[in-house]
Amino acid sequence: MQESKESKLYFSKELLGWYETAKRDLPWRRHRNPYYIWVSEIMLQQTRVDTVIPYFQRFIERFPTVQALAEAPEEDVLKCWEGLGYYSRARNLQAAAQQVMERHGGIVPDNKKDVSALKGVGPYTSGAILSIAYNQPEPAVDGNVMRVLSRYFLIEEDIMKTGTRTLMEDLATELIPQGRAGDFNQALMELGALICTPKSPQCLICPVMAHCAGRLEGAEDRLPVKSKAKPPRPEYRLVALVEGDGEQSGRVFVRRRPDSGLLARMWELPHIPAAAEPGEGAGLPDGPAMDRLAAALGGAGVLAAPQGALMEAEHTFSHIHWNMRVFRFQQVDGRSDLIAVAESASAYEANGDAIGSSSGDDATEYRWITKEDMGELAFPNVFIRILNQYFSTK
DNA sequence: AAATCGGGGAA
DNA sequence: TTCCCAGATTT
């Protein structure tokens, strides 16, 4: 990996020239607004450009300034992020906007110490903001950059290792042309996104192919070296879709998730864990599952009678795969069922499953909602799919 | 160093 | 199916 200085100068010059004509017209590139740059970079973490664009447009329209974001209800921010995933990004972004209001008078800071201190801003995003918004010579090393550099300089270090990113940052810093940090960093990522793609890179139209060590070795297809991630572990969940009765007629019972952990503070249909099945989740008897769900609902103060299986759903997170069996329930206000429900609630208390924490520190929040109410509350995609299907076929 | 934290598009 | 995407935070 002893690349010559000429090779580096060639790389930077050719890449910058290519970028001038090849760069995409993206919403956050139309202004040099540090707030726009910041929001876009948070959204782009682990997320493709095409996915981000509509979210970015809506977000800026709704929260045009740092102050607007800082003062907005958290529920609105989460709703604007709904479907984009990694929801702590949204909550950290708003917390950081409040930091910027308090510490920096609403101006996105332009030095490494203060930018890196913002919640949700790590090494990559710090470098991206400083270079793109303020043209400072800081590296912005993401997955694209590591792929491009590992190929061009034939670096065979595992990019999953911590030390490799530091090595890449040092190299990327050397490559930044004087006074062109913003364009160069974006050019590096643009090349990774458009030409130097993970599979079947377009070497023949690459602006730096002539001196690409990886390609000259015929090694572009096995670079970058990356250790495999663990597959998500399966989990089985029993989900309750409870139709309201009386005052709650036409509404569905939902709850809000805890303040931390998976899908923090998002709304969802209540569900409880089911034993892991050695085979398939399907084809199991509905009776015991519905009984357990009814008991758990009783523990949350909802008297409901099972109406049968509604659908099955799957959802994959980064580290968990949910296999969900959804059951329909009918809320029961009738006095005749009070005794039976009270008994099942008692049985539930003795059990371990939880719909709501009956004795926890902070009580779980519940609501009965209509289809229209979904427009105000943020749900994970899997529950949006279930609820939309239910409301559309009802 | 390893786990946690979403969702979807491309092959 | 598998990969991986303009990663950060927590353990």
Q: Which of strand C's nucleotides are less than 7 A from any protein C-beta?
A: 2-9
State yes or no: pLDDT of A356 exceeds 80.
no
- Give me the pLDDT at residue A308, please: 95
pLDDT digit string (tens) for A139-197? Answer: 999 999 999 999 999 999 999 998 999 999 999 999 999 999 999 999 999 999 999 99
Please determine whether the domains at A5-222 and A233-392 fall in the same fold group of CATH.
no
Given the residues A3, A6, A20, A41, select the one marked as catalytic. Answer: A41
Residue with structure tokens 């447009």? Answer: A57
3-class secondary structure per residue, A78-120: HHHHCCCCCCHHHHHHHHHHHHHHHHHCCCCCCCHHHHHCCCC
Q: CA of A19 vs C1' of C6, distance in Å?
A: 15
The domain locations on chain A are 5-222, 233-392
Closest nt to A26 (CA→C1')? C6
pLDDT digit string (tens) for A68-81? Answer: 999 999 999 999 99
Write the DSSP assignment of A250-314 as a string of letters: T-EEEEE--SSSTTTT-EE--EEEEPPPSS-STT--HHHHHHHHHHHHHHTT--EEEEEEEEEEE
Q: CA of A13 vs C1' of B7, distance in Å?
A: 37
- C7 C1' closest Cα residue: A45
- Give me the pLDDT at residue A337, please: 45
In this complex, the answer to whether residue A232 has its CB under 7 A from any atom of chain B, a nucleic strand, is: no
Backbone φ, ψ for residue A305 (5° rounding): -105, 130
Q: CA of A290 vs C1' of C2, distance in Å?
A: 35
- C10 C1' closest Cα residue: A261
Q: Catalytic residue at A20?
A: no
In this complex, the answer to whether residue A144 has its CB under 7 A from any atom of chain C, a nucleic strand, is: yes
Backbone φ, ψ for residue A73 (5° rounding): -65, 140
- C6 C1' closest Cα residue: A44
User: Do A160 and A233 touch, CB atoms closer than 8 A?
Assistant: no
pLDDT above 90: percentage of residues in chain A: 85
- Interaxial angle between packed helices A5-22 and A162-175, expressed in degrees from 0 to 180 and rounded to the nearest 10: 80
Q: Could you give the CA distance from residue A315 to residue A320 in angstroms, rounded to a whole number?
A: 8
Closest of A209, A228, A229, A227 to residue A151, by C-alpha: A209
pLDDT digit string (tens) for A364-378? Answer: 999 999 999 999 999
Which one-letter amino acid corresponds to residue A5? K
pLDDT digit string (tens) for A222-245? Answer: 999 999 999 999 999 999 999 999
State yes or no: pLDDT of A348 exceeds 50.
no
Pick the CATH number of A5-222 from 1.20.1250.20, 1.10.340.30, 3.30.450.40, 3.40.50.1820: 1.10.340.30
- B8 C1' closest Cα residue: A51
pLDDT above 70: percentage of residues in chain A: 90
Mean pLDDT across chain A, nearest whole number? 91
State yes or no: pLDDT of A346 exceeds 80.
no
- Work out the pLDDT band at A276, boundaries 50, 70, 90: low
pLDDT digit string (tens) for A301-325? Answer: 999 999 999 999 999 999 999 999 9
How is domain A233-392 classified at the architecture level of CATH? Answer: Alpha-Beta Complex (3.90)
Closest nt to A144 (CA→C1')? C6
In this complex, the answer to whether residue A319 has its CB under 7 A from any atom of chain B, a nucleic strand, is: yes
Closest of A304, A301, A300, A322 to residue A313, by C-alpha: A322
pLDDT digit string (tens) for A18-63? Answer: 999 999 999 999 999 999 999 999 999 999 999 999 999 999 999 9
Q: Could you give the CA distance from residue A135 to residue A214 in angstroms, rounded to a whole number?
A: 30
Sign of torsion over alpha carbons A170, A36, A32, A190: positive
- Give me the pLDDT at residue A53, please: 98
State yes or no: pLDDT of A83 exceeds 90.
yes
